[in-house]
Amino acid sequence: MNGRETRTALAFLAPSLCVIVVLLAYPLARTLVLSLYRYNLAQVLGKPARFVGLENYRDLATSPFFWHVVLATLAFAGTCVVGTLAVGTIVALALEDAFPGRSALRVVVALPWAMPAVAASIVWKWLFDDQHGPLDAFLSALGLHAFAGFSWTANALVAFAAVAVIVAWQTFPFVTITLLAGFATLPRSVYEAAAVDGISDWRRTCAITLPMLGPLFLTLIVLLMIWDVKVFTQMYVMTGGGPGRGTYVLGLYAWREGFASVHLGVAAAIAAAMSALLAIFVGAYVRLARGSTA
């Protein structure tokens, strides 16, 4: 490439570079810089910010609570991914074969994905309500009397599970739609050969369809993991981090430090740590994407 070509290339790239710098690089750099400062309410109100180097990071690294939140976030995200994949796959398989009303159902299935997370979470909070929620009423009507007045938010593990249900419910359409698109790309010839061999539907699904979509599943796992590590809204609405600090995830922790306690430096350090964690998954995703196009 000669100098002139380079200049032309840069000129063409300039608009998108501007957008990237303004929307991505600046906030990221600002967060990293902020994470090196003591920046509390007094500093927001005009006291000079005090440079503390890596102190915010050191405090986090030596805080058992931070590591607890990291592990809880990963375990929670992992659970969400498994649940989302399971539901999404089952629904995709059910919608694969033609039946009357399938097109309409495919649209309906996409609705949870289209619903704003706050609205969905509030609706689920009502469904899960221990005094008037239909879920408890339904379960106890089935004869499961332990669920009469059962609180889904009084115990951290149960609350995590309940929020995982909300997250899975909201994200499974993405898996379903992706898989339906994936099904369409599979070569017909393999299925024809299988039909000649008289293979059962169940075997066909387990031995042909799903294994052939392996790379697609890997991509889905990584993408879902990235989303689910970042879960905030559902947890904020449903538990607010409680009981105690039992259902904190990284996003909620950063928010609480930044906006409830006005420790912006610490919040920035948590956000940076979270980005580092996510970078691992993003790296995996990039490698997968490269592999599939190579």
Q: Which C-beta is closer to another protein: that of 83 or that of 133?
A: 133
Q: Is 283 in the site for another protein (CB under 8 A)?
A: no
Q: Rule CB under 8 A: choose which of 233, 256, 258, 274 binds another protein.
A: 256
Cβ–Cβ under 8 Å, residues 160 and 247: yes
Q: Please identify, using beta-carbon distances, which residue of 40 and 205 lies nearer to another protein.
A: 40
Annotate 64-81 with b (16+ C-beta within 10 A) or e (fewer): eebeebbebbbebbbbbb
Map residues 132-171 to x or -, x wherever contact with another protein holds by CB under 8 A.
Answer: ----------------xxxxxxxxx---------------
User: Which class for 199: exposed (0-12), middle (13-18), buried (19 or more C-beta within 10 A)?
Assistant: middle
Residue 72 or 109: which CB sits closer to another protein?
72
CA distance 128 to 171: 19
Tokens in use for 145? 């009397």
Residue-level length of the chain: 294
Q: Min. distance of Cβ 157 from another protein in angstroms?
A: 10
- Residue 86 in the binding site for another protein (CB under 8 A): no
- Residue of 16, 131, 185, 189 interacting with another protein (CB under 8 A): 131
Q: Least CB distance from residue 142 to another protein, whole Å? A: 17
Q: Is 217 near another protein (CB under 8 A)?
A: no
Q: Nearest 5°: phi and psi at 51?
A: -75, 125
Over the window 234 to 253, marking each residue x when it contacts another protein by CB under 8 A and - when it does not, the resulting string is -----xxxxxxxx-------
CB-based contact 204:116 (threshold 8 Å) = no
For residue 74, CA distances in Å to 68, 225, 258, 277 come to 10, 9, 21, 10
Binding site for another protein (CB under 8 A): 38, 40-42, 44-47, 129-131, 148-156, 239-246, 256, 259-262
